[in-house]
Amino acid sequence: MNLILLGPPGAGKGTQAKRLVESRGMIQLSTGDMLRDARRSETPLGAQVAAIMDAGGLVTDEIVIDLIEEKLTAAGGGGFIFDGFPRTLAQADALDALLGRLGQTLDAVVEMRVDDEALVDRIAGRFTCRDCGEMYHDTTRPPLIPGKCDVCGSDDLYRRPDDNADSLRTRLLEYYKKTSPLIGYYHAKGLLSPLDGMEDIATVARGIDAVLDSAAS
């Protein structure tokens, strides 16, 4: 079962992908996480990626498709959750071709719908554990002990450099201009399931489970 989580910045793609990894043993493929790893490499490519991400723009299709191809080929089997990929029609076509080459299909695309105002609030309040990747929010999901990760006990909690008002404005514009056409694209393919991403995390999770269960039957 291969699933795309499609939605604007802050829609909850990463939150739900992590849950599916735990509950269903699926493999999360987040191009955002891959690019954050690439930028730490201190290569010219890393520096180029960092500048684009911090400004809120989209990294070139070529770079992102290469990253996904590498991971898909290495993973072999299926059960992928595509989190933040594809983001353009060119990326969607490349994904079709890659899955076809591996003898795999795309089974469902969940569109997570969230109001812009709520997105701003979610992004502004978000922070993450650098050691285990657990995600928190100042008001909706604070750690039990302030400054300490509930899961691994680390005190290395950080905010992403692109989670600021200017960058978020650009990220939203990029989403509406370049990524939202994918909604029509996957609807036309009969794969799209829109979900109300304004609901709480557990309710959204139940909605995604229902989509996966119906795609499997």
Output the CA angle 78-10-175, nearest 5 degrees: 80
Task: Give the dihedral of Cα atoms 141, 139, 160, 151; nearest 10 deg.
Answer: -20
Using CB under 6 A, pick the residue from 6, 29, 50, 64 that binds ligand AP5.
Answer: 64
147 is written with which tokens? 């400054």
Q: Which CB atom, from 91 or from 193, has the smaller least distance to ligand AP5?
A: 91
Q: By C-beta, is 14 or 197 nearer to Mg ion?
A: 14
CB nearer to ligand AP5: pick between 19 and 108: 19
Across the beta sheet with 126-129, the strand order is: 135-137, 126-129, 157-158
For ligand AP5, the binding residue among 3, 6, 10, 110 (CB under 6 A) is 10
Q: Catalytic annotation on 160?
A: yes
Strand partners, 158: 128
Residue 17 Cα to chain centre, angstroms: 7
Residue 1 in contact with residue 107, Cβ under 8 Å?
Answer: yes
Site membership for ligand AP5, residue 141 (CB under 6 A): yes
Nearest distance from residue 94's CB to ligand AP5, in Å?
A: 10
Binding site for ligand AP5 (CB under 6 A): 7, 9-15, 31-32, 35, 52-53, 56-59, 64, 84-85, 87, 91, 122-123, 126, 135, 137, 140-141, 162, 171, 197, 200-201, 204
Catalytic center residues = 13, 87, 126, 160, 171
